[in-house]
Chain A
Amino acid sequence: MSEKTTAEKTAKKARAAAPEAAASVASPAGPKAASPASPVRLDVRKTYKLYIGGAFPRSESGRSYQVTAPDGTFLANAALASRKDARDAVGKARGVFSGWSGATAYLRGQILYRIAEMLEGRRAQFAAEVGSVEGLSEAKAAAQVDAAIDRWVWYAGWTDKIGQIRSAANPVAGPFWNVSSPEPTGVVALFAPERPALLGLVSVLAPAIAAGNTAVLVAPDSAALPAVTLAEVLATSDLPGGVVNILTGSSAELGKPLAEHMDVDALDLAGIADAGFATSLEQMAAENLKRVLRPSSAPADWSEAPGTARLTAFLETKTVWHPVGA
């Protein structure tokens, strides 16, 4: 990514200089342009925008940035989300929290499974996109996509089980019925790692919403491309708009407004590699006692079995008492 470049200007310049050049640029989503023998068919490219409240707006700031392959090949212009986009996203996530957290665990599980189904149907598209973004072989890209699909299936199955393994009927010393059970924390801001581009963001997103939270996901830099394509999957999976909001751009820019936002209840700093920056975000989060999942000090292996830690990180425990008597 070349930071702070106004992509439209660049694109205009490029078109003015060599109109045909655009056709030869690698498309992230499909095979290369036609062979020289046949008449040239121009790729229809995708516009990568944000995903906020179930809609696909551009950044209110009008900014975008270039996403390039590791070899420098231009892949796409992604929307460079602003502080105000972050605020809009938080507002949408808050607005649907009571609906999503109040939906039955069965329904949430079916919707997460539906996401896996939709992703499965677009395996080739995701593999090509992840491959071009990360410069991976076809096999490695496909393996990452498969792992991401399987991760949705894993968490889909957890929605109606995490409550049981985290609940307790407490044998208090008195005539009281006393039960503890988990409830979602609220609006969670997730900073996805840039790599692995798809598996990383699925690994932080799926547990947060499986647990019943609503999310604002920051997909940094080149992870923007699979993130926005994932948003297309989310938008067609019966997931209510606003449960997941995706901001593409710079974690460095979006970190502060999200960590300081008083209507954000928790932060997942998985993708914040700079330890000093992670610390400052955690300090900002203290203002309203956000729950903070710190980045792991060792490099994370996202292909490992995830366990339940990311589910329980954003759950509260509620204990209810009632007298027992005639």
Chain B
Amino acid sequence: MGIFDYAPAPESRAIVDIKPSYELFIGGEFVPATGGAFKSVNPATGEALAEIAEASAPDVDRAVAAARQAYESVWSRTPGTERAKYLFRIARIIQERARELAVLESIDNGKPIRETRDVDVPLVAAHFFHYAGWADKLEFAGYGPNPRALGVAAQVIPWNFPLLMLAWKIAPALACGNTVVLKPAETTPLTALLFAEICQQAELPAGVVNIVTGAGETGAALVAHPGVDKVAFTGSTAVGRQIARTVAGSDKKLTLELGGKAANIVFDDAPIDQAVEGIIDSIFFNQGQVCCAGSRLLVQESIQDELLDALRRRMGTLRLGDPLDKNTDIGAINSAEQLARITELTAAGEAEGAERWSPPCELPVNGFWFAPTIFTNVSATHRIAREEIFGPVLSVLTFRTPDEAIAKANNTPYGLSAGVWTEKGSRILSMARRLRAGVVWANTFNKFDPTSPFGGYKESGYGREGGLHGLEAYLDV
């Protein structure tokens, strides 16, 4: 160890108690599944963490029935003031158990403790706190004097922000008076199951929140169930499309938050050091496994060399390794399947003629890892410039004029997010207006807040999560 190297600084995992096996959470109780079981794996080591119950279609049916029962007999009759207090309670318990949740999330997902501790879990608590306050103020939201709940919400969430996506789904649903059946991703169910315990601790009425674990089949059974009034999904565009077909012709209200291929545009007058930090956040936050990741860097031609030199230098300082180490910047890729996808797409990038670069970076032997990577000499037709990689891989393209930057940025079927870096205010505003994306970060990137609506244009889905706009998804308006 050299004098400037870091000593290991692992967060203790003693705070979490991972059980050998987990059941479904239906009607306020943990109950066995009839669909068998699967294993959740620690992606940083490849070791199995626990056996997770797999919900079959009859299990999903039971969960929906429990949610319906709770909706009809309890939750729809619970005044907003009381719903608010339950949500405030949940927010407080999340804050109280924040470290436990952060450690468990890092273990199950592979993301660095620095992120779960400083970003994911604080935002989860904030989200519940925000929507708690809405529960008794819905008539002021602009949807008329007495906006009504929809009923039972079916919610399917991804593995990249397991607990945060749970919060984005459950908090507004409950605030608006719905009950929910939520299916976490099959690779990251543990924090959702801990959240079920938090619901018990908060004495949330039985059946208001139900959690069914399983893979795609469980999710498909849930969204297709005739007893649900609302479907909310975050995940891939391919699955979102399938869900849209499934609910077609029904009365189910649908919101979808899907893939992205965001452009992060850097003009020649941008503050280079800040832009480099922004680029690092945009593509290496959560190992790039972020739907709104700035996976296409559009740099103005005149500063390309200067910017890329600075970016490469900064990438050389990123620390990849144990997600529970407090100094880790880049954790593990969530699954072998996702690692295979990233590997395949980056191989295609090289085969199509783009130039690949990664800093010297030793990868752990066990688990699923991918070094931070940039591609230069990327053309708009390359797969790595068009397809969502969902990994720590940045494709660099160049432009000369604002018009060219807009044309390239919008040249994608996605429209979730975009970034702009320039010191010129009028240019920021004109770029922000012309970018066809639901979230535009100007001189910043990957910022989230419960009051700030998030969601896509075009094939990145529809509906918004967060703030006043996020209520609409769970109200009959």
Q: A173-B126, A282-B249, A289-B459 are in contact. Are A319 and B440 (CB under 8 A)?
A: yes
Encode A158-196 as 1/0 by CB contact (under 8 A) with B. Answer: 000000010010111110101010000100000000000
The count of A-to-B residue pairs whose CB atoms sit within 8 angstroms is: 111
Interface residues of B in 433-459 (CB under 8 A from A): 437-444, 447, 449, 451-455, 457-459
Q: A172-B451, A316-B457, A319-B453 are in contact. Are A286 and B444 (CB under 8 A)?
A: no
Q: Which of A168, A279, A285, A322 contacts B444 (CB 8 A)?
A: A322
Question: What's the least CB distance linking B122 to chain A, in Å?
Answer: 9
* Complex alpha-carbon distance, A168 and B466, angstroms: 12
Residue of A nearest to B419 (CB): A321
Residue of A nearest to B461 (CB): A289
- The answer to whether the Cβ of B469 comes within 8 Å of any Cβ in the partner chain is yes
- The answer to whether the Cβ of A288 comes within 8 Å of any Cβ in the partner chain is yes
* Complex alpha-carbon distance, A273 and B241, angstroms: 24
> Are A265's CB and B458's CB within 8 A?
yes
Q: Which of B245, B249, B452 contacts A178 (CB 8 A)?
A: B452
* Complex alpha-carbon distance, A173 and B242, angstroms: 36
> Are A279's CB and B249's CB within 8 A?
yes
A320 neighbours in B (Cβ, 8 Å): 432, 439-442
> Are B142's CB and A165's CB within 8 A?
yes
- The answer to whether the Cβ of A35 comes within 8 Å of any Cβ in the partner chain is no
> Are A317's CB and B438's CB within 8 A?
yes
Interface residues of B in 232-260 (CB under 8 A from A): 237, 240-242, 244-245, 248-249, 251, 256, 258
> Are B439's CB and A319's CB within 8 A?
yes
> Are B452's CB and A170's CB within 8 A?
yes
Encode A266-306 as 1/0 by CB contact (under 8 A) with B. Answer: 00000000011011101101111101101001000000000
- The answer to whether the Cβ of B38 comes within 8 Å of any Cβ in the partner chain is no
> Are A321's CB and B438's CB within 8 A?
no
> Are B447's CB and A279's CB within 8 A?
no
- The answer to whether the Cβ of B30 comes within 8 Å of any Cβ in the partner chain is no
> Are A317's CB and B449's CB within 8 A?
no
- The answer to whether the Cβ of A9 comes within 8 Å of any Cβ in the partner chain is no
Question: What's the least CB distance linking A69 to chain B, in Å?
Answer: 34
* Complex alpha-carbon distance, A171 and B242, angstroms: 36
- The answer to whether the Cβ of B464 comes within 8 Å of any Cβ in the partner chain is yes
Question: What's the least CB distance linking B406 to chain A, in Å?
Answer: 10
Q: Which of B241, B441, B468 contacts A321 (CB 8 A)?
A: B441
* Complex alpha-carbon distance, A309 and B144, angstroms: 12
B10 neighbours in A (Cβ, 8 Å): none
> Are B444's CB and A176's CB within 8 A?
yes
> Are A278's CB and B244's CB within 8 A?
no
Residue of B nearest to A265 (CB): B458
Question: What's the least CB distance linking B358 to chain A, in Å?
Answer: 29
B444 neighbours in A (Cβ, 8 Å): 176, 321-323
> Are A317's CB and B464's CB within 8 A?
yes
A319 neighbours in B (Cβ, 8 Å): 438-440, 452-454
- The answer to whether the Cβ of A318 comes within 8 Å of any Cβ in the partner chain is yes
> Are B458's CB and A289's CB within 8 A?
yes
B245 neighbours in A (Cβ, 8 Å): 283, 286
A283 neighbours in B (Cβ, 8 Å): 244-245, 248-249
Residue of A nearest to B462 (CB): A291
Q: How many chain A residues touch B (Cβ–Cβ < 8 Å)? A: 37
- The answer to whether the Cβ of B428 comes within 8 Å of any Cβ in the partner chain is yes
A173 neighbours in B (Cβ, 8 Å): 126, 449, 451
- The answer to whether the Cβ of B8 comes within 8 Å of any Cβ in the partner chain is no
Q: A288-B413, A321-B439 are in contact. Are A171 and B451 (CB under 8 A)?
A: yes
Q: Which of A165, A265, A276, A286 contacts B244 (CB 8 A)?
A: A286
Question: What's the least CB distance linking A171 to chain B, in Å?
Answer: 5
Q: Which of B237, B440, B449 contacts A170 (CB 8 A)?
A: B449
B367 neighbours in A (Cβ, 8 Å): none
A172 neighbours in B (Cβ, 8 Å): 447, 449, 451-452
Interface core residue of B237, B240, B449, B455 (most chain A CB under 10 Å): B449
Q: A286-B241, A289-B258 are in contact. Are A321 and B249 (CB under 8 A)?
A: no
> Are B449's CB and A178's CB within 8 A?
yes
Question: What's the least CB distance linking B29 to chain A, in Å?
Answer: 36
Question: What's the least CB distance linking B252 to chain A, in Å?
Answer: 10
* Complex alpha-carbon distance, A279 and B240, angstroms: 17
B453 neighbours in A (Cβ, 8 Å): 168, 170, 180, 317, 319
Q: Which of B452, B458, B460 contacts A180 (CB 8 A)?
A: B452
B251 neighbours in A (Cβ, 8 Å): 297
- The answer to whether the Cβ of B205 comes within 8 Å of any Cβ in the partner chain is no
Residue of A nearest to B249 (CB): A279
A275 neighbours in B (Cβ, 8 Å): 249
A280 neighbours in B (Cβ, 8 Å): 248
- The answer to whether the Cβ of B467 comes within 8 Å of any Cβ in the partner chain is yes
> Are B447's CB and A174's CB within 8 A?
yes
> Are B437's CB and A318's CB within 8 A?
yes
> Are A317's CB and B469's CB within 8 A?
yes
Question: What's the least CB distance linking B332 to chain A, in Å?
Answer: 28
> Are B249's CB and A278's CB within 8 A?
yes
B248 neighbours in A (Cβ, 8 Å): 279-280, 282-283, 285-286, 292
* Complex alpha-carbon distance, A35 and B460, angstroms: 64
A291 neighbours in B (Cβ, 8 Å): 462
Residue of B nearest to A277 (CB): B249
Question: What's the least CB distance linking A84 to chain B, in Å?
Answer: 24
Q: What would be 6 A-B contacts, judged by CB atoms less than 8 Å apart?
A: A168-B453, A173-B126, A279-B248, A285-B248, A317-B438, A318-B432
Q: Can you name 12 extra interface pairs (CB under 8 A) apart from A170-B467, A288-B458?
A: A170-B453, A171-B451, A180-B453, A280-B248, A283-B249, A285-B248, A289-B241, A289-B258, A316-B438, A319-B452, A322-B442, A323-B444
Interface residues of B (CB under 8 A from A): 126, 142, 237, 240-242, 244-245, 248-249, 251, 256, 258, 413, 428, 432, 437-444, 447, 449, 451-455, 457-462, 464, 467-469, 477
The 4 A-B residue pairs whose C-beta atoms are closest, nearest first, are A279-B249, A286-B244, A282-B248, A172-B449
